[in-house]
Structure formats: C-alpha cells, structure tokens
Chain A
Amino acid sequence: MIPLLCALVHVAIAAPIAFVGATLHPVSGPRIDDGVLLVEDGQILNIGARGGLAIPDNAVQLDSSGKHIIPGLVDSHSHIGGSRLNEALGPVQPGLSAVDAFDPTHTSVDRARAGGITTVHVMPGSGKLIGGQTAYLKLRRSSVVDDMMLCVDPPDGAALPARRGRCGGMKMANGTNPQGDGGDPKSRMGAAFLQRQALARGQQRLKALDNGPPAPHDPTDLDGDVLAEVVSGQRTVHFHTHRADDIATILALRREFGIDVVLHHVSEGWKVADAIAAAGLPCSLIVIDAPGGKPEAMQLSLQTGAILEQKGVPVAFHTDDPITDSRLFLRSAGLAVRGGMSPDGALRALTLTPAEMMHLDDTIGSLQPGKAADLVVLSGPPLSTWTRVEQTWVEGHKVFDRATPEGAALAAGGGADLALPEEPR
C-alpha cells in the first residue's frame, strides 16, 4: 500500500537547505552531534555528521549550532480545527467525516504548528459508539483542507474528491462517554452489542461489494461502504477506551471482525499489558498530570508508557487537544520518562511510532533520506520542559517561526489568539 499525497503539493524549485551544526535526533538511528541535515524539494536529501557528507555549493546554509533537530511531531489524537466534532445523528454514524468540520485557518492549527506538530490525526469526539471518520492531516500552509489530507488509494473515478477516499481511520469509543440519552446505549452491554451489529453490517456490505461495484441505480449505503472498509482491515479503527475491561471488549471485537485497531487513552492499560502485547495492538496514550475527571480514568498512571514499552507494545502519545495543549506535546513524553520510559522510546512515541499506527511511516516520522522534510528546530534537548520550539518545517517550508512577532504570540498566547488576518490586497 503506497500512501499518496492526494493534494496540491507545490513542487518547489529552490536551492537545497542545509541545517548545520545541530544535534540531530533521526529517531530511526542514533543521535548525531554536530550534524548536517540536507533538505531539497521538500524531502530529506541526506543526514550525517559534519564533514561526513558533502554540502552542495548552491545550498542555503542555516547555522543551527546549539540547537536540536527532531522529526516533525505526529499527534495521533487531536481535535484542533475550531469546529464541533460531536454529532448526534445516532449512536453509530460511520458516514460522518471530521474533515468536513476542519477549518484550516483556525488558530488552533497554528498553535499545533507552534508546538512542533507537523502531522495531526483529527478525530470526531468520543460521545458516540462510532463517531465518524478521522482525518490524517499534514500541517502544510493552506486554506483548503484537501491540500493537507493524507490519503491512501484515492477513490476510483477521478471525479470523486480525494476526501471521500481513505484519508484517515474510524473513531470508535466505549466506556462511559458514548452512553447517554435518546438512541445511545445506557450500559457497556448495549455498547458492545451495537458495535458488533454495526461491524456485522459492514461484513454484509463487504460481501455485497465483493460481487462487483454497485450500479448507478443501486441504492446508496454511505455508512455501509465505510464499515466495509473497516471490517476488511483497510480503515484503521481508533478506539477510545480507558478501563481494562473495555480494552478486553475491544480485543474480542478484533478477534471477531479482524479489524485493524489502535487503542487510545488506555488509562488502565497497565492492568492488561500482557493481553495487549499478545494481541500486538499499538497504544496511543494520553499523559495528564491530573487523574482525569471521570471515574473510569482515575487509575491513569504515568507509568503506563513504561510498562507497555517493557512488554514490547508500540506506544505513542497524543494531546487530545484541547484536553492537553498542542504546544505542550513534548512535555507529555517527558512525563512518561519520569514514569520510567526510555528517553529514546519517548521521543519515538511522538514521531515514528504514531506514524506507524497510521501507516504513514514510509513518508514521515523520522529524519531519513527520502522522507518528507518535516522537522522541528528546538532550543535544547527535546524532552526538557524549558526547551522551546523555535521553528517548525513541513516539507521544506517553514510553517512556524518563534522569532517572528506572530510566531511568538502563537507560542505564548492563550487559546483566543487569532493569527494575523489575511488581507486580500
């Protein structure tokens, strides 16, 4: 499966850029002190120690001495974009898509760039059992969200907009959040039943589609089409879950339906770490310094990352922005180190591991030749609380610069800070 950038990718015909003298953290390999990072046409051209690689004569050299450079951060769970991401058409609403509620010009998107985030996974909320389709977004500068979407296998027939292809996963949730009034379940029994019923519907639709694509005069089934992608394993389920028993319920759903699953939050994951490891499920953790705010998150632990790491479970962190601020994403990994996780594993949990969870790791997540030039220039070591994000680069373009007044405002200001208005003329 080759992920494609289904968007306007401006092909910059520009001189190569050389970041010279920084401490480089490729993540895919050991740290390089006094390194050189070469970028050309939006991609990483080469990386190595100073003197170990040739800098092209026409390269623009940026003195990065004393700085640290890491891959652009990948936030595997966020709600930026300024729009309401909770819908209430029913407990199961797979036809919805978060991309239809994302404002690329919203200040929260700029704050994420200010936090060093270059790829973000924007999800519907957890108020529904199946909340809708999620969006994998590259934080390129554009006012059209389609320019930011990362899509796999665009839909047949070029007439269809790419956003209707697979450009994200599916949000599911169990535990107390999706319980409620109206058609929502009131119990974990009801939740599991309705989720099984929906996935079974996906299997039926998949079977129908196996007999050939629907004719134009066949009835549409927007929900069934997406559920079929889920049960065929083509669309990853990102499953909000806190309690250990809810995690076990997901393990059973996966066994029954063969879905590709990433567990999100996983507050009690430490209780069932062996079962998670045996199933090989990746975990995207939220790290907060307060006990959560609801009973099912009371046993959230700073040690969860360390425990899962020891068991060999792929671990990522996420902001769940606005639950934690995108600008403090590095701190989440630092707190996990405080809980016992390895610093290398913690940095990987912000970059390459979440990229792997979204099946985007062949283009992002590490500083390797051929990958996108998504990178963050830091004032100091990545996991230090007082290290600042100085610059964020996406595909060779600087999308955040703390040295500019608007950059400083975005890095330091509150949630209401608007980016400077765009003037048409």
Chain B
Amino acid sequence: MAAPIAWVGAVVHPVSGPPIADGVVVVDGAVIVAVGARADVVIPQDADVYDVSGKHIAPGIIDLHSHIGGGRLHESLGPVQPGVAAVDAIDPSHPSIDRARAGGITTVNVMPGSGKLLGGQTALLSLRPGVLIDDLLLCEDPESHRWQTASSLDAAAPDAPPARHARVCGGVKMANGTNPQGDGGDPKSRMGSAYLQRKALLDAKARAAVLDAADARAAAGWWARRRLPDVKRPEPDIAQDVLVQVVRGERIVHFHSHRADDMVTALRLREEVGPQLRLVLHHGSEGFKVAQALADAGVPLAINVLDTPGGKEETLERQLGNPAAVAELGVPVSIITDDPVQDSRLIRRSAGLAVRGGLDPVLALRALTLSPAEALGIAAQTGSLEPGKEADLIVLSGPPLSVWTHVEQTWADGVRVYDRADPAQRVFSTGGDAVVAP
C-alpha cells in the first residue's frame, strides 16, 4: 500500500470553492482525502510530502470534445450510424494521448467526426495509465451511476459481454449545419438533416415504448396481461438499442452545431423526444445570438475558442465574446479543444482567450473542469478538488490561465501520468506531433 501524498504550499484552486493561498492537497491512493489551508489540514504521519510553494494546483482538465487517439473517426455507413463506436478506433499508446496529458487533461470525451448526422458513440476516457483502451474507458454503472473502467468491469464479470459495448461508456455524436451534408445518402439541406435526425430519434422513442410495453407484459400476471397491449419484444439491435438509450436519457447527445438556427433546431428535437433527453451543444459559434433560448432550455454549451474565423461560412460570425455572452445569461459553458482543430496542450489558452472576450476568470477555470464534469454527469467523481473525488489534478508553474504557465505534473486517478521534469516526458509538451514515447 503506497503512502499518502501531500502537496504543500501551492495556491490551490478547488473550483468548487475559492482559491486557497497557502494550501494543502492530500491524496490517498486514487482519492483526494483533504483540501484546505496549511493551518487547517492535518497531514498524515506517513505521507510523502511535496513542497510546491509558488506553484498552483488545479483539478485535472476535462476536454468535452476531442479526437485524440490516432484513429480515423469518420465513417460512412450512412447518415445515421448509432452502432459505430469511437472506442474501436482509439490507440491508447498514440502520442496524441500523451500530449493531452502534457496539457493537463485527465478526462476526455473522444468523439466521432461531424460528417454524419449521427456519427456514432463517443468514448469517455480517463487518461490514467493503461495498455488496453478498456483500461482508460469509463463506463457507467446503472445502479450507482458511478463511472468505472471497462477493464475493471470486465474483470469483475468475466462471463459478461465486454463492457465497452454492453455498457454506456460515453454519449453519441450528432451534427447539423453544413458538415453532415454531402453526397450519397447524406442530406443536402438543413431540412433533410432535421427530418432524418427527427425520424431516427422518434423511431427510437417508439422502440423504447415497445420494449417498455413488452417488459410490462412479461412482468404482469396472466390476468393483468390480458389488458396490456399485445406487443412482442423485438430482437436486440446493436444500433437501434443505442438510440433507445439516448431517448431514455441514459446516453448523452453531444450535438455539433454552429449557427444560431441550427442550435434552435437541436433544442426543438430535444423537445420532441422529451426533457429526459440529455443534450450538450458543441461549438455554438453563434450562441450569443440565441443565448436566452439556450439559457431557457438549460442546455450546456461546449465552445472551442479559435483565434481565426473558422474556415467555413457558418462559423464566420464566431467571436471571442461568445462564452461570456452566453455565460452571462446562465448557460453552463465548457471550453473544448476539438483536437486536432486545437492542440490539447493549449486548452488553458482557450480559456484565457474567453476571459479576454469578457468571461469571468473563475468561470473560465470552471469551464475547463467542473462544468464539463457536470455536462458529462461525472461531477460526483471528478472536476474539482474535494475530498472523496478522484485524484485528478495538475501542478502548474503559475496562474492557470496565464499563457506562460507550464503544466509541471498531471495526475490521473492518483497516478502521475505526466512529469515535465522528466526529459523523456517533457518532449510531449515541447515537441511536434511526431514525437513518440521512447
């Protein structure tokens, strides 16, 4: 049993509360056991104590939207392909994952691309060490709602089907606007996009109702059964049953959308399925135009902050003031990389640019940590420095949103996964895309 670890003397940013000037963070195993001012925290006798005076400690960064892992994340089986899962295309040894760790990212939602209306299942990864992707993949336990690695679930139930497909281990990616328009079976217009997405979701809603009716029938006694609708339980369907999870609110929809009208279309789709549908809007370049509608819907927005006007017509009106404008009306904002659109190592800079656009610095740090954790439904486990949460944290050389602050160490689940002091790891911070682990 390894000794507890205590970091002493840093400016600690719990995010769940105000910064602590001369703070202490104590971790035991994979769990945070204490966070507070030096005077208030009792450091265990057997702890390994690190003096981090002059440093800052923040929660590990959560990137709600990334494409790291080295695999192609665009498929073209059709405009709606819910059976496809990003986890099957991620290489856990790819240097892009080490670069994300070097950027201070400890949790990442790896998504299929936006070239399809429904591109497939996303993969929620903890960037803890691992050989198999299942060692990193987080899956939800339906009873406790805690997220555990697919490997641990597979080890606990050797005869069960693999957790990566049998459990909810991420959301689904949807997209509207110009990206999913194309040739073949793809739509050519926003009308067609909305129709095909609507049809997919409402068909799934009907399928969920069939499954519910069949379950109710099976559970009923012979007498009560006579009064129930005579429906037969359909055969399992590895694609359609993913959408059933979506319409039941068991699986989050991560919806790529830039233009204001496209975001409103996504809100209306949710209205049709029902309030249980969990929707997170991504990019939201024109969010400032419909901030009130977004706030009224209570839908989180995951924004990538670019310093160029985007590269396609529908993003020309993007602006640095967007995160501030929507946050002002109460929209929960997360900042994302969309790596490789932006480098995972510069995600803190995106939050800094949002501050330049008017966002409250406290909200900007939250947008990298607790807000994405809430959007993902994992805030009980990570996203802030609080006793009982997982030991996902970063040690910084200076204030979190400064451009010249370095990530010195990244810890995921109580394990150091990046250390800038080690030259072999430092290259992931300073080197180009071709750097590979020695």
- Chain A residues within CB distance 8 Å of chain B: 83-89, 93, 95-98, 100-105, 124, 132, 143-146, 159-161, 163-164, 215-220, 222, 421-425
CB contact under 8 A between A164 and B190, given known A95-B195, A100-B195, A222-B198: no
* Contact A424:B322 (CB < 8 A) given known A87-B187, A216-B205, A217-B210: yes
Q: How many residues of B contact A (CB 8 A)?
A: 47
Find A143's partner among B191, B193, B260, B322 (CB 8 Å cutoff). B260
Taking A87-B188, A215-B229 as given, write out 17 further A-B residue pairs in contact, using a Cβ cutoff of 8 Å, ordered by the A residue number.
A83-B189, A86-B189, A87-B187, A89-B195, A96-B195, A101-B189, A101-B191, A103-B261, A105-B289, A124-B191, A144-B260, A217-B210, A220-B199, A424-B288, A424-B319, A424-B324, A424-B325
25 A/B residue pairs, CB under 8 Å, sorted by A:
A84-B181, A84-B189, A87-B192, A88-B188, A88-B192, A93-B195, A95-B199, A100-B265, A101-B190, A132-B191, A143-B290, A146-B268, A159-B272, A159-B274, A159-B275, A160-B272, A164-B272, A220-B203, A220-B205, A220-B206, A222-B199, A422-B288, A424-B322, A425-B328, A425-B358
A103-B261, A143-B260 as given contacts; A217 in contact with B209, CB under 8 Å: yes
Expressed in whole angstroms, the minimum distance between the Cβ of B298 and any Cβ of chain A is: 15
A146-B268, A216-B205 known; A85 vs B191 contact (CB < 8 Å): yes
List of B residues within 8 angstroms of A161 by Cβ:
268, 271-272
User: CA–CA, A34 to B212, complex, Å?
Assistant: 69
The distance in angstroms between the C-alpha atoms of A87 and B192, with both chains bound, is 6
Instruction: Point out the residues of chain B lying under 8 angstroms from A220, CB to CB.
Output: 199, 202-203, 205-206
Q: Is the CB of A87 within 8 A of B289?
A: no
Neighbouring A residues of B213 by C-beta, 8 Å:
217
Nearest 7 Cβ contacts at the A-B interface: A424-B325, A100-B194, A216-B209, A101-B190, A87-B192, A217-B209, A424-B288
| A273 to B315 Cα, complex, angstroms | 49
B275: chain A residues at CB < 8 Å are 159
In the complex, what residue of chain A is closest to B264 when comparing beta carbons? A144
CA distance A83 to B291 in the complex (A): 22
Interface of B is mostly: helix
- Is the Cβ of B321 less than 8 Å from the Cβ of A423? yes
- CB-based contact A86/B290 at 8 Å: no
A159 / chain B contacts, CB cutoff of 8 Å: 271-272, 274-275
Measured in the bound complex, the distance between the Cα atoms of B377 and A236 in whole Å is 46
**A146 to B205 alpha-carbon distance, docked (Å):** 24
CB–CB B195/A222 < 8 A: yes
User: Could you say which residues of chain A place their CB within 8 Å of the CB of B155?
Assistant: none
CB contacts (< 8 Å) of B231 on chain A: these are 217
Residues of chain B in range 273-332 having any CB-CB distance to chain A below 8 Å: 274-275, 286, 288-291, 293, 317, 319, 321-322, 324-325, 328
Q: Which of B83-132 contact A (CB under 8 A)?
A: none
Determine if B260 and A425 form an interchain contact, defined as CB atoms under 8 angstroms apart: no
B259 within 8 A of A: yes
Give the distance in Å from the alpha carbon of A146 to the alpha carbon of B324 in the complex.
25
- Nearest residue in A to B192 (C-beta to C-beta)? A87
**Complex contact B229–A89 (CB within 8 A):** no
Tell me, rounded to whole Å, the shortest Cβ–Cβ distance linking B61 to chain A.
25
By beta carbon, the residue of chain B nearest A94 is B195
- Given A104-B261, A159-B271, A215-B229: A87 and B198 within 8 A (CB)? no
B417 sits at the interface (CB 8 A):
no
Chain B residues with CB under 8 A of A160 = 271-272
> How far, in angstroms, from A163 to B321 measured CA to CA in the complex?
30
Chain A residues whose CB sits within 8 angstroms of the CB of B30 once the complex forms: none
Q: Which residue of A lies closest to B201 (CB)?
A: A220
Q: How far is the CB of A302 from chain B (nearest CB, A)?
A: 33
- Asked if A98 and B261 make an inter-chain contact with CB atoms under 8 angstroms apart, the answer reads no
Residues of A within 8 A of B321 (CB): 423-425
Q: Which residues of B contact A104 (CB under 8 A)?
A: 260-261
Most B CB contacts (10 A, CB to CB) among A98, A100, A164 go to A100
In chain B between 316 and 359, which residues have their CB closer than 8 angstroms to a CB of chain A? 317, 319, 321-322, 324-325, 328, 358
Residues of B near A101 (CB, < 8 A) are 189-191, 194
* CB <8 Å contact, A89 and B187: yes
Within the assembled complex, what's the spacing in Å between the Cα atoms of A222 and B213? 22
**A146 contact set on B, CB distance < 8 A:** 264, 268
Q: How far is the CA of A222 from the CA of B260 in the complex (A)?
A: 25
Q: A142: shortest Cβ distance to chain B, in Å?
A: 9
* A104 CB, nearest partner CB in chain B, Å: 7
A77 to chain B, nearest CB (A): 17
List of A residues within 8 angstroms of B268 by Cβ: 146, 161, 163-164
The smallest beta-carbon distance between B187 and chain A, in angstroms, is 6
Tell me which of B195, B286, B321, B325 has the highest count of chain A C-beta atoms within 10 A of its own C-beta.
B195
Q: Give the CA-CA distance A220 to B198 in the complex, in Å.
A: 11
Interface centre among B203, B265, B274, B317 (most CB of A within 10 A): B265
Contacts of A95 in B (CB 8 A): 195, 198-199
B47 interface residue (CB < 8 Å to A): no
B391 to chain A, nearest CB (A): 38
B196 touches A (CB below 8 Å):
yes
How far does the alpha carbon of A144 sit from the alpha carbon of B289 in the complex, in Å?
A: 9
List B contacts of A425 (CB < 8 A). Answer: 321, 324-325, 328, 358
